[in-house]
Copies of this chain bind each other. A is one copy, B any other.
Amino acid sequence: MFVEADPYPWPYDGVLVADRLALVISGAQRWFYERTAQPDDALGRIARIVLLLRPMGATILAVRHGSDHGHQSRPVLPKIGGADHELIIEPSVADAVIDAEGMDAFYGSNMDAYLRARGIDTLILVGLGLEGPIHSTMRSANDRGYECLLVSDASAPHDPSLVRAALSTIAFSGGIFGAFAPTAAVVDAVADFTTSPTYSGALP
């Protein structure tokens, strides 16, 4: 059971176990909403994926990226505590909200501790900011040994002309940062998953 992804069927070992899986929603914040292309399309697909994965027993995480750095004039990240920093999705959608102090969800956060304490080692990445928070988080997760899938059409880009390059970078050299696939491929895989006789999830 796996997702038909580029550049390899994901996850690499073909084993997708719900309680080792988290969906990571990055950048669902006002600041990123205003700096990404067609964020509502991505948010719709994210909602669909949440509704698919939650009943299986997967963990849903929403990451609020922000920064306290006050010494630089350029707009690096939303200011922590400001209106731009707030989530624009209902927090109750997520099992936990992770506050990170960087583009990378693992920086200045409990992300790694949270995942490790639960034995989660497989991540599906979505959100607002394909080249920004989603890419930074995927790179960092990969260094840490997490197996990652980026859902391409559930990840709104800052600049639509950079999408192909952002996805090509992931796929470089046989999947240097993991793999990517559209929402439809995740839906298909989960359909297989929930009808499989070996399924041991929480569906009635």
Contact = CB atoms under 8 A, between A and B. Distances in A.
A142 interface: yes
Interface residues of A, number: 55
A144 interface: yes
Interface stretch (A42-50, A171-179, A184-192): A171-179
Interface in A164-183: 164-166, 168-169, 172-177
B159 A68 contact: no
- Complex copy number for this chain: 4
Interface of A: 8, 12, 35, 67-76, 99-104, 107-110, 112-114, 116-118, 131-132, 135-136, 139-140, 142-145, 147, 158-159, 161-162, 164-166, 168-169, 172-177
The 10 closest A-B pairs by CB, nearest first: A102-B143, A165-B165, A108-B113, A68-B117, A101-B113, A108-B110, A107-B143, A162-B165, A131-B169, A74-B174
